[in-house]
Amino acid sequence: MSPHPSLVHARGLTKRYPNGFTAVDGVDFDVRPGKAFGFLGPNGAGKTSTMRMIACSSPVTEGELSVIGMDPRTQAREIKARLGVVPQIDNLDTELTVRENLEMYARYFDIPGDVARRRTDELLEFVQLDERARDQVEPLSGGMKRRLTIARALINEPDLVILDEPTTGLDPQARHLLWERLYQLKRRGATLIITTHYMDEAEQLCDHLVVMDKAHIVAEGSPRQLIDEHSTREVLELRFPDGVRENLDGRLDGLADRIEELPDRLLLYTADGEHTLDQVKQRDIPIESALVRRSSLEDVFLRLTGRSLVE
Amino acid sequence: MTVLAASGRVWQRNWLVYRRLWGRSLAFGFLQPVLFLTAMGIGIGTLMTQQSLEAFGGVEYIDWLGPGLLAAMAMQTATFESTYPIMNKIMWGRNYEAMLSTPLGIRSILLGELGWSAFRIGSLAVVFLVVLWLFGIPRSPLALLAIPAAVLIGLAFSACLIAFTATQHNDVGFSAVFRFVINPLFLFSGTFFPLAQLPDGLQVVAWATPLFHGVQLVRGAILDQLDPGTAVLHAGYLVAMIVIGAVLAERNLTRRMAG
């Protein structure tokens, strides 16, 4: 077959570990050039195992996988030369300075010294670390380390950048700065693959998403499509005073398309949240608090799996 | 990029770190043998009678001890370099994970680390040899052969210990290795006293261990007592250990890093 128009093409992709655990069970997906492709799912859904197979750092057990038109089984080295990888846990070289981290990494790709120095300058500026170029890595904040890791992943001008949970563990300000940089990267035409268990991250960054749960893909589409398909436009969140919730006796029946019960509140899925709230009040149901919001990917996930993303 | 060129990059990374430390490292490498030779060679050696020196082949004790210490230094340096720093690169600092995201492969990493070990031990052996010369121990320029001999010892231990380290998930195993492998070898390999002093059974055991062969090679070179036939035998033992160690190290690192 001629090379696929997609950068990553997977059919029936499966990862089974020697202990018998199946982390990824026959998934199909295609990553198109110039797009940000997201794997959304809770911890243990199989996102990282999928990423590791794409990055050629974990062998494919079964199924078909091509990365940049090449086979990870036989062309791992050629594929890696054209990938940028941002791992879940930082693996910067703490014995080298910020600058040396990039220049040395460039040498691993066989990039000549002068080119490496020029790209290092550009990338440190891009991730706003040029002022820290001569510093050691260890005193950098978590957000700075992540940005340096991203700069490092770009040193070989990759065709595809793989980011495994890029903002896990960062404070909100650092996350936003990182998102902004990744958004810039996208605007330059880079293809990104991102795993995350944060729905806001997926909504912010991803053009196309697959939702993973228990080694399977349970839904696929753009964030908007997923919400439209699997949820209502709005959600009414209700909290009740003690004793009320146990004695509702079906008094909420017919008010919403679907009601999801969470330990601390009820979610009423409906096209018009305010209208539903009025109806609840008309029925004289005592409420402690009410919140009307747009449906999010969190709701999609809850719908598809019956569980929350972040538990 | 060939495997060799790629391993050069791994070597280069270690050099980049070492660049800031080499002065200190070589200064310690100088001081250590000076202290040992003064304390044991002169301090203990001068207590020995002419008769007891017969056991050392008729040379002064310090002359006999110095080369043994050089061989032991090669083993100890290689052991240290191939345990904690390798463990760090496997699991604490995750350097290998980062390297394996690039076109570098396991084999390049292993060769780079072995090359680094060879360089470190070679440079320390040069410093050690200078000290021995200051004490007037080497008999002829043939003593320079002690440098490649020390490198052989170092590589033999590095390869085997990298293979071991790749199977470990914490550093508990290292203290067992230091205590029950490295220390006994240090003491019973003909470093401080001739094996002939041991009971027959133990002599056979000592003969089968690697540092003994290293000590024989180094001492033979420095005291100009090298017999080509037995030298080849000793070197062959160490080369075999390097090959077996490297094969195991590559297998274990592959299992560890690419699951």
For the stretch A177-233, pLDDT in tens is 999 999 999 888 889 999 998 888 998 899 999 999 999 999 999 999 999 999 999
pLDDT for A152-193, tens place per residue? 999 999 999 999 999 988 899 999 999 999 999 988 888 999
Q: Where are the domains of chain A?
A: 8-222, 232-294
Confidence (pLDDT) at A305: 83
- Strand A191-196 relative to strand A22-31, pairing: unpaired
The single residue listed with the structure tokens 């595809």 is A160
Q: What's the gap in Å between the CA of B14 and the closest CA on chain A?
A: 9
Q: What's the gap in Å between the CA of A292 and the closest CA on chain B?
A: 45
Q: What's the gap in Å between the CA of B1 and the closest CA on chain A?
A: 7
pTM recorded for the entire structure:
0.91
CB of A292 within 8 Å of a chain B CB? The answer is: no
A9 — pLDDT class (breaks 50, 70, 90): very high
Higher-pLDDT residue of A258 and B258 is A258
Q: Yes or no: say if A262 and A181 are a contact pair by the CB < 8 Å rule.
A: no
Q: How far apart are CA A99 and CA A275, in angstroms?
A: 58
Do the Cβ atoms of B101 and A107 come within 8 Å? no
Tell me which CATH homologous superfamily contains domain A8-222: P-loop containing nucleotide triphosphate hydrolases (3.40.50.300)
- H or E, element range at A260: strand A258-261
The pair of structure tokens assigned to A74 is 């036989």
H-type alpha helices, A257-309? 273-282, 297-305
The pair of structure tokens assigned to A170 is 């960062």
Confidence (pLDDT) at A309: 63
Which member of A59, A85, A94 has the closest CB to residue B93?
Answer: A94
The helix/strand/coil state of A34 is coil
Residue A311 has pLDDT above 60, yes or no: no
What sign has the CA pseudo-torsion A238, A244, A247, A250?
negative
The pair of structure tokens assigned to A233 is 């436009």
Confidence (pLDDT) at A2: 46
Phi, psi for residue B194 in degrees, rounded to 5: -70, 145
Q: Yes or no: say if A10 and A72 are a contact pair by the CB < 8 Å rule.
A: no
Q: Exposed/middle/buried for A108, CB within 10 Å: 0-12, 13-18, 19+?
A: buried
Checking phi first, is residue B144 left (phi over 0); if not, alpha (psi -120 to 50) or beta? Answer: alpha
pLDDT for A119-149, tens place per residue? 999 999 999 999 999 999 999 999 999 999 9
Do the Cβ atoms of B1 and A110 come within 8 Å? yes
Do the Cβ atoms of B9 and A18 come within 8 Å? no
CB of A289 within 8 Å of a chain B CB? The answer is: no
B201 — pLDDT class (breaks 50, 70, 90): confident
Residue B179 has pLDDT above 60, yes or no: yes
The pair of structure tokens assigned to A220 is 């696929």
Fold classification of A232-294 (topology level) = Alpha-Beta Plaits (3.30.70)
Question: Which residues of chain A are within 8 Å of residue B9 when distances are taken between CB atoms?
Answer: 104, 107-108, 110
Do the Cβ atoms of B17 and A96 come within 8 Å? yes
Residue A85 has pLDDT above 90, yes or no: yes
Total structural domains within chain B: 1
A254 — pLDDT class (breaks 50, 70, 90): confident
Contacts of A268 (CB under 8 A, 6+ apart): A235, A236, A237, A238, A252, A255, A256, A258, A259, A276
Q: Which domain holds residue B245?
A: 3-46+55-257
pLDDT for B28-87, tens place per residue? 999 999 999 999 888 888 888 888 888 898 899 999 999 999 999 999 999 999 999 999
CB of A276 within 8 Å of a chain B CB? The answer is: no
The single residue listed with the structure tokens 């703490």 is A94
Question: Which residues of chain B are within 8 Å of residue A108 when distances are taken between CB atoms?
Answer: 6, 9, 99, 102-104
What's the mean per-residue pLDDT of chain B? 95
